[in-house]
Every structure is written in C-alpha cells, then in structure tokens.
Amino acid sequence: MAEEVLSYNKKRKHTKGDRVFTICNTVYMVLFLLVTLYPVLNTLAISFNDATDSLRGGIYLWPREFTLYNYQTVLSQQNLVTGLWISVARTVLGTVLGLLVTALLAFMCSRPKYLLKKQMNLFWVITMYVGGGLIPVFLLFKGLQLTNSFWVYIIPGLTGAFNLLVIRSYMEGLPVSLEESAQLDGAGYMTIFARITLPLCTPVLATVALFIAVGHWNSWFDAMLYNRMSPQYTTLQYELMKLLSAVTTMNSSSGATIDSMKSSANAVTPTSVRSAASIITMVPIVCLYPFLQRYFVTGMTLGAVKE
C-alpha cells in the first residue's frame, strides 16, 4: 500500500495549482515564523538595552545602548541558585512522576472492560470545570502537611484531567489486537502497559511531558502561596517575580526621586528586568525542545496488525 502511494506521488505532475499552493504555503509559513519570532527577538534586544533608554521605546531587533546590567541585576538576586535547583528538581521529578501516574491512570481508564470506565471519566472531566477555590485548597494542603515543603509542588499536580484525557484518547486509538495477542502470550496488564502501550505512546507522552515540564518550570504562584516563609523551597520563577515586583514599586515610590533626577547610572526598569528574566527563563525550555522533538512522530503501529 505504501508503494502505491509513492508511485502515485511520482506520477503526479506539478500543476500550476500545486506551485501556487507551495508558494502561498511558504509565504504563509515564513510570515507565521516572523510573527512568532519577532516578540522573542524584541525581548532579547530590550534585555540587552540600557533600561532608561528602553523607556523611550523604539527598540525593535537590535539594542540601541548595549548593556549587561539588566542581566547582572537579575542574576545577582539572592536565592537564585536555590530557586534554580528547586525549579529543576520539581521539573524533572514532577514530569517523570506526573507522566508515569497519568499514563497509568489513562491506561486504566482506556480499558474497555473496566467496570467504572464511564463514571471515572466523568469524574475526571468534572475537575476540569469545577475547582475548590484558593482558600479551601490552601486549607486542604495545610491539613495534608504539604505547606512549607517541597512536596506541594509534586504531589497535588501528579495528574491532571486534561493530560489524562489526551493520553487516554491516544491509548484508545491503539489497535485492541495488539493487546489481545500479548494476552494470548500470557502477558498481564502491567506487562501490556510497560511493554506494549507505553512504547507505542511515545508521541503523546512526549507532548504531555512538554506540557507538564513547561507548567512546572513556569509556575511560581504555588511557591509564593505555600512556601512563602520557607526560602529554602523557593523557585526560580518566584525569585524573578519578586525582583520584578520590587523593581516596579521601587520605581514608583518616593525614595529614589531625588537620586533619579541627578543620576541615571545603573538603573533598571520593570520592562528591562522582565525582558532579561524572560530570556533567562526561556532558554532551558528552548534547549529541552529539540530533544523531545524526535518523539513527535507517529506511525509506529503501521503494519503491526492486519485487519
């Protein structure tokens, strides 16, 4: 069948319509690329531009007054190293554990023979629309001894309804025969899960891993809410957020007014700090992406079953 497709493609001539389509498609894709890339480059330029100069606006792709001071300010924030370590730890641990737990649960919920399948699925969907609210959740976590601990980052977020549904749908799309043939060979559910389902699910697992990892990496609100008084569990993003909000108030409080009238030296603004912090935050996730990308390919089941 694959051969047929190939030969069909070969035989087809490139018609005028094809060419127009290719040109339009390329132009569209290039435009799309520019639209998504521009804000990033602009942020990069602002992060390297003198803060007070940036206030004037008009920075596009290239810094006007080059400086490293924005980065120096951000990187000299104390607790940044602790924050970085905790952020990395929660991202790695949270993603690995979260993926495992969610995949297991999805496996269970995707079994056609599972008695409570319908009810369980409904149960998960409900959590997508109804939340407990800030203070009840806080009280719950406090009751569970999760506040002022590292585990508040990991345990509550082990599974989420959305990711569960994504993985479950994918698993339901896998051919049932694969599972049946494994069962014939004497495999139990755990074996099927580990040896058949999981390997076939790599594309969806990679996708969900990216979701979870980005979520963990970016989150700061939980650090503030549950670990405000425990600086040893601070996260990178919370530290950056604190710096940003400090700079914002510093610049609008009366304290520095006279000084600012006379000296423009070494000042930062919320915009410059935000840009530098965004770039610092973005780099690790951008680096992660190429490694996950190779899993974003489908079609492993092709040819495994003949139906």
Partner 1 sequence: MRPAKRLLALAVAASLMVTSMSACGAGGSDSTGSGAKTGSTGTSSVKQFKAFFTVAGTEINDDNEVQQKITDLIGAKCKETWLTGQSDTEAVGTMIAGGEYPDFIEGGGATNALVEAGALIELDNYIDKYPNIKNYFTQQQWDQLKAAHGGHIYYLPQFSVTHDKKTNTIHNDEAFWIQTRVLKWANYPKVTTMDQYFDLIERYLKANPTMKDGTKNIGYTTLTDGGKIFCLNNAPMFLDGYPNDGSCIVDPKTQKVIDYNTSDTAKLYFKKLNGEYKKGVVDPEAFTQKYDQYISKLSTGRVLGMIDQYWDFSSNVNASLKTQKLDEQGCEYVPLPITIKEGIHNQWHTTYSVMNVSSGVGITTSCQDVDGALKFINDLLSPEVVTLRNWGVKGVDYNEDANGMFTRTQAMRNKANDTKYKASHLCSYSYFPNYGGMLLDNKNAATPDEQISEFQSGLSQNMKDTLKAYGAKTFVDMIGDNDAPGAWYPLWTFANTLASDDPAKTASAKIDDTQHQYLPKICMASDFDSAWNSYMTAYKACKPENYFNAAQKEVTSRVNAAKKYETSSSASSK
x/- mask, partner 1, residues 228-267, rule CB under 8 A, reads: xxxxx-----x--xx--xxxxxxxxxxxxxxxxxxxxxxx
Are 288 and 213 spatial neighbours (Cβ–Cβ below 8 Å)?
Answer: yes
CA dihedral over 35, 40, 41, 47, signed as positive or negative: positive
Question: Between vectors from CA 79 to CA 76 and to CA 85, what angle results, nearest 5°?
Answer: 115
Buried-exposed string 202-231: b where 16+ CB fall within 10 A, e elsewhere: bebbbbbbbbbbebbbbbbebbeebbeeee
Residue with tokens 């004037």: 56
Other CB atoms within 10 A of residue 157 CB: 18
Among positions 121, 149, 183, 218, the unique one binding partner 1 when judged by CB under 8 A: 149
The residue (of 26 and 263) whose beta carbon lies closer to partner 1 is 263
**How far apart are CB 104 and partner 1 at their closest, in Å?**
12
Q: Which of residues 67-126 bind partner 1 (CB under 8 A)?
A: 72-73, 76-78, 89, 92-93, 96-97, 100
Report how far residue 189's alpha carbon sits from residue 108's, in angstroms, rounded to the nearest whole number: 9
* Residue 50 lies near partner 1 (rule: CB under 8 A): yes
How many residues at the interface with partner 1, by CB under 8 A? 70
* Residue 53 lies near partner 1 (rule: CB under 8 A): yes
* Residue 291 lies near partner 1 (rule: CB under 8 A): no
Binding site for partner 1 (CB under 8 A): 50, 52-53, 55-57, 72-73, 76-78, 89, 92-93, 96-97, 100, 134-135, 138-139, 142, 147-150, 194-195, 198-199, 202, 220-221, 224-225, 228-232, 238, 241-242, 245-271
